[in-house]
Amino acid sequence: MEWIGQLAAVGLVLMVLAATLWWLRRRSVAALLPGGRSPRRRMECLERLRLGPQHTLHLVRLGDRAMLVASSPAGCSLVESLSRSELENGQPAQ
Same domain? 24 vs 70: no
The pLDDT of residue 39: 58
Q: Are residues 1 and 32 in the same domain?
A: yes
Residue 34 shares a structural domain with residue 6: yes
Please state the domain count of the chain: 2
Residue in 51, 61, 56, 54 with CA at minimum distance from that of residue 81: 61
Q: Are residues 26 and 46 in the same domain?
A: no
pLDDT at 34: 58
Residues 51 and 32 in one domain: no
User: Are residue 82 and residue 57 in the same domain, yes or no?
Assistant: yes
- The predicted-structure confidence for 44-85, as pLDDT tens digits, reads as follows 888 999 999 999 999 998 888 899 999 999 999 999 998 877
Query: Average pLDDT of the chain?
Result: 82
- pTM (whole model) above 0.75: no
**Residue 68 belongs to domain spanning:** 42-94
Q: Which of 60, 84, 83 is nearest to 71 (CA)?
A: 60
Burial 65-86 (b: 16+ CB within 10 A, else e): ebbbbbeeeeeeeeeeebeeee
Burial (CB count <10 Å: 0-12, 13-18, 19+), residue 24? middle
Task: Please give the pLDDT value at position 86.
Answer: 80
Say if CB 45 and CB 35 are below 8 A apart: no
For residues 50 and 28, membership in a common domain is answered with no
Q: Per-residue pLDDT for 1 more than 80? A: no
